[in-house]
Amino acid sequence: MPKKSKLSTPAWILEGFNSEAEYNKKKGIKNKPKAKAGEEFYVKVCPQCRSKDVNVVIGEVGAWECKKCNWKGRSIEEEAVLEEEYFKIIERMEGK
Ligand SMILES: [Zn+2]
């Protein structure tokens, strides 16, 4: 029988800190911001027709094109969307 891993006890407990936050502060560890439900994400939108159906132009650094109105350029804009919509867009961009 293999011994149970000690990893189940967080380091901050083993080292006698009162909380994980205190431990992280001492060690200089910064917590990654956690995404909350309904939190806003930013997606690229076409500056001309506000469509989110935009893609980077292959072979042109920093250039974008809109599939809807055929706009092409570098002045792409961003729009805040909710998490749910954001992941739908990501999935679509990855062609799922
Ligand atoms: Zn457009």
- The full DSSP string for 72-92 is EES--EEEEEEHHHHHHHHHH
- Is 87 within the bounds of a domain? yes
- Is 64 within the bounds of a domain? yes
Q: Identify which has the larger pLDDT, 33 or 40.
A: 40
Predicted pLDDT at 49: 97
- Protein residues within 5 Å, CB atom, of ion ligand 1: 46, 48-49, 51, 66, 68-69, 71
- Is 24 within the bounds of a domain? no
- The residue range of the domain holding 63 is 40-93
Task: Answer whether residue 43 shows pLDDT above 60.
Answer: yes
Bridge partners (DSSP) of residue 66 are: 54
Task: Answer whether residue 1 shows pLDDT above 90.
Answer: no
| Residue 35 CA, ligand 1 centroid: distance in Å | 29
CA 34 to chain centre: 10
- Is 56 within the bounds of a domain? yes
- Is 30 within the bounds of a domain? no
Structure tokens belonging to residue 80: 């805040």
Quote the percentage of the chain above a pLDDT of 70: 82
- Is 61 within the bounds of a domain? yes
Q: Which pTM does this prediction carry?
A: 0.54
Using alpha carbons, list the distances in angstroms from residue 2 to 5, 6, 8, 14, 20.
Answer: 9, 12, 15, 22, 29
